[in-house]
Structures are given as structure tokens and as C-alpha cells.
Amino acid sequence: MQAEHFKSGGLIVTPEEATAIKPFGLDMQVLLSSEDTGGTISVIMACHRPGEGPPDHLHFTQEECFFIVEGTYELTVGDVTRTVGPGSIVYLPRGVVHRFKNAGTTTARMLDWSVPGGQDRYFKEISALAGPGFSGEKVAEISKRHDTNFPAPH
């Protein structure tokens, strides 16, 4: 079954209709793509095994919002680090360095909104690299093109 678009422009997507991708070997589903929303927003369900999560990074052209669905995450937003569980929400304004990791012992899941949309395009391109074409240089190029910036460690 495919997501149902309405004359009004609205859309209903069930988990079974979402697009499955595997960027960096992670299990993700694109629930709302940038194309679905005219670039307004993208929404992804991301699963992380224990210890998984990205290093410090930031976005200059979009806000992000995480909603913890399942599991325990350690999140760092700017200079604040907290461990949170299901029902917690995190708002990330443009330009704020952040990172997270699954701090639990089971798979954790979060919803990730980006406004305007775009994170789905980034993760789809990374997912398409899987296999022989995967290289740090290609990842850096895709990251830069999609406003995912990794500051130098200090």
C-alpha cells in the first residue's frame, strides 16, 4: 500500500508505507519526505542500537526536533548533557552543536523532524553509498551539501 495524498495536499503515511533506508547501517524510515511536503518539513523514525549515535554536529539552515519514542538517549545540546527516555522532546535551533547516543541496553527509537525539510535527502544519499562506493571523502561531500557540519574537536 502507498501513502495516500489528498486533494487538500494532506497526506497519511502508515509505518508500512514509509520508505526504509539504512544510512551508516542504521535502520530508518522516512515518514514524510521533503518532496511530500514541498520542502516544509521532513520526518524520520530512527532506530539506534546501544551506543549508536552521531558525533557533535550542527545545521545552519534548519531546526531539528527529536521525540524519544522508545529507549534511553544521552543528548548533548550546546553545553548541556542529559539522559532522557520516552516522551521527551528536544528542540535544536539552527547553529546549535548537538549529539546523542543510545545510552540503554536495548534498541532505542526517535522521531526526527527537520524544518525546513532536508534531513531525509541527506540520509537517503548516505544510504545509497552503502557498499563499495562508501568513503569518508564522499560522506564529507554529502554532509556539506546537506548542511550537516562536524566541528573540529577541541
Q: How far apart are CA 51 and CA 142, in angstroms?
A: 24
Q: pLDDT band for position 4 (50/70/90)?
A: low
Q: Give yes or no for a cis peptide into 55 (omega within 30° of 0).
A: no
Q: Is the pLDDT of residue 154 over 60?
A: no
pLDDT at 139: 83
Q: Give yes or no for a cis peptide into 116 (omega within 30° of 0).
A: yes
CATH of 4-145, one of 1.25.40.10, 3.40.1410.10, 2.60.120.10, 2.60.40.10: 2.60.120.10
Q: Is the pLDDT of residue 41 over 70?
A: yes
Indicate whether this model's pTM tops 0.85: yes
- DSSP letter, residue 120: H
Beta bridge partners of 82: 75
Q: pLDDT band for position 68 (50/70/90)?
A: very high
pLDDT, tens digit (0-9, with 9 covering 90-100), for 111-125? 999 999 999 999 998
Which sequence spans correspond to the domains of the chain?
A: 4-145
- Write the CB contacts of 92 (distance below 8 Å, at least 6 apart in sequence): 59, 63, 64, 65, 66, 77, 98
